């Protein structure tokens, strides 16, 4: 007998659009949802001294460049496989480019079904202000003006086309993210009610 597919929702949006914030608020209300952030998984792997990939991941993140898809998708697959009972998966900050989509499809489309992509739409100047402010205390090597410019550039070049692709497949749910976080969250929660999460 065929095993039921795991349900996945991707969360995309530019750097500082509020992906992490909205995901944390959502899972606080929905303990049945398993949550993974691609960026957090990569940062944890970078910190893992026994990982050969650590140095490469560190170098790319610190430059605002994307990590090779095989690395990211393997981390996501391990994380998802480590929750045998889970049926609902929220994934923050993935897929960032076409290669991410391709490798996800190869490795996970037989076990996961993508319900939709939540897109946090936010003007660049607002995202910039938020990240510069957060950079004062975040300790993230990529939270400075110079690297941020590269993150925005790669977002526009590679990730926005992916957002558009979900739209063409009628799998995109857009929320205006330039509003107070509780207001954004209320709308986000409504979208998850629609799919009975």
Quote the CA–CA distance of 185 and 187 in Å, as a whole number. 5
* Positions in 74-133 near ligand UP5 (CB under 6 A): 93-94, 96, 100, 130-131
Decide: is 54 part of the binding site for Mg ion (CB under 5 A): no
Q: From CA 144, how far away is CA 135, in angstroms rounded?
A: 6
Which of 20, 54, 68, 167 is in the footprint of Mg ion by CB under 5 A? 20
In Å, how far are 37, 56, 93, 121 from 19, measured between CA atoms? 9, 24, 7, 10
Q: Compute the chain's Rg from CA coordinates.
A: 16
Shortest Cβ 117–ligand UP5 spacing (Å): 13
Q: How many CB atoms within 10 Å of residue 130?
A: 18
Q: Among the candidate windows 34-42, 101-109, 111-119, 163-171, which touches ligand UP5 by CB under 6 A? A: 34-42
Instruction: Report the residue number, 62 or 111, with the smaller CB distance to Mg ion.
Output: 62
Task: Kindly indicate which of the ranges 14-22, 71-79, 106-114, 133-141 contains the residues binding Mg ion, using the contact rule CB under 5 A.
Answer: 14-22
- The residue number with the shortest CB distance to ligand UP5 is 39
């Amino acid at each position: 007998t065929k095993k039921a597919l795991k349900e996945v929702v991707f969360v995309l949006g530019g750097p500082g659009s509020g992906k992490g914030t909205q995901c944390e608020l959502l899972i606080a209300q929905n303990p049945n949802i398993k949550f993974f952030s691609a960026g957090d998984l990569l940062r944890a792997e970078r910190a893992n001294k026994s990982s050969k990939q650590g140095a490469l991941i560190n170098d790319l993140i610190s430059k605002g460049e994307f990590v090779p898809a095989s690395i990211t998708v393997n981390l996501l697959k391990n994380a998802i496989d480590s929750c045998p009972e889970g049926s609902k998966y929220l994934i923050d900050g993935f897929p960032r480019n076409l290669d991410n989509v391709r490798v996800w499809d190869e490795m996970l489309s037989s076990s996961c079904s993508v319900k939709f992509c939540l897109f946090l739409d936010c003007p660049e100047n607002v995202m910039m202000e938020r990240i510069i402010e957060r950079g004062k205390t975040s300790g993230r090597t990529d939270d400075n003006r110079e690297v941020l410019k590269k993150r925005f550039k790669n977002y526009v070049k590679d990730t926005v086309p992916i957002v558009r692709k979900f739209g063409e497949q009628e799998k995109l749910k857009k929320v205006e993210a330039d509003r107070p976080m509780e207001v954004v969250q209320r709308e986000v929660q409504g979208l998850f009610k629609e799919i009975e999460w």
